[in-house]
Amino acid sequence: MLLKSLIRINMVIVLLCFAVPASGASKIYLGVFDNDKEKSLSDLSGVKEFERDAGKNVAIIHVFQAWGALDGKNRFDSKAMNVIRNHGSIPLLTWAPRALHKKENQPEFALRNIIEGKFDDYITKYARDIKAWNHPLFLRFAHEMNGTWYPWSEEVNGNRTGEYVRVWRHVHRIFSREGVLNVTWVWCPSRKKAALQNLHKLYPGDEYVDWLGMDGFNDTRERLWQSLEALFEDIYREITKISAKPVMIAEFASLEDGGNKARWIRRALNVTIPERFPHVGAVVWLNHKFSSELDWRIESSATAQKAFAEAVSSPIYIGNSLHLISTSPIPAQ
């Protein structure tokens, strides 16, 4: 009798081991960013090509708008957001206080000008238009602030220490004043900056942020081949010390040269993200070819495309089944 009981207990334990997902594994929103800033935000041709080759439609479509864009392209585009939503996806809107096609030295967009209210009319109109649209979206404002390549970095453009947080809170307060409840705020540093230990000084605070973000690429032009774990382990450790908010990998990809891209993709999506980075609730692949030497697409080779499609076929990765989500901030799954 005792032997039968022990056998039964062991069988239950074995079944539980198979039923429990890998350590830290949870549902993860799958997203894409094709980075073609010349196209209309409502042009999803690149997204649809990616989805066809990935074998899965995406939960998140990442688009970009600059404050200084011309011909009205800096305004909130509700029609484009409707196209994304009707496609079955959630918009991830990177909103950048800069002029396009210019480098980091842009005095017009110095942080003190935003703090002093010189863009308040524009910010207020944008906030009201988002409120009127009345559907959830991710807003990634002034990303990669810990680098030196954008005019909102505290190390360039005449900016001063502490101004980035003041700008973020200033913009957030305008949205709050206007009663905007459908924005999910994404604070997103880059993994490239060496001094990651100072990230806490750039964090606006949990009351102003809904998701943490991180960007990084296996760019073999700059360094030796690196796994996704090597790319993100330092920044992931630092941002999860700062806050317990869910994490989004808002931009990532790999080149082909220097290693095996297909193997890199498989390990990144099947092992590293679900097991090593348990707070990650969304991943957004940069699917763009800038040149023959700089091809981030999953289609850069047949083996890479096949590996990606196989990896995201896992039920861990959420496609566009949650496009009618109405909760804000958008929850991790």
How does DSSP assign 135-162, residue by residue? Answer: S-EEEEES--TTSSSSTTSTTSTT--TT
- Minimal CA–CA distance to 219: which of 302, 291, 146, 312? 291
CATH superfamily assigned to domain 27-322: Glycosidases (3.20.20.80)
pLDDT tens sequence for the chain (333 residues): 433 443 333 433 333 333 333 334 489 999 999 977 678 899 999 999 999 999 999 999 999 999 999 888 999 999 999 999 999 999 999 999 999 878 899 999 999 999 999 999 999 999 999 999 999 999 999 999 999 999 999 999 999 999 999 999 999 999 999 999 999 999 999 998 666 878 999 999 999 999 999 999 999 887 899 999 999 999 999 999 999 999 999 999 999 999 999 999 999 999 999 999 999 999 999 999 999 889 999 999 999 999 999 999 999 999 987 656 888 999 998
Domain ranges, ordered by start, for the chain? 27-322
**What is each CA distance from 210 to 4, 91, 183, 205, 216, in whole angstroms?**
51, 15, 9, 10, 20
Quickly count helices (H) and strands (E) in the chain.
9, 11
With residue 127 as reference, give the H or E element that holds it: helix 120-133
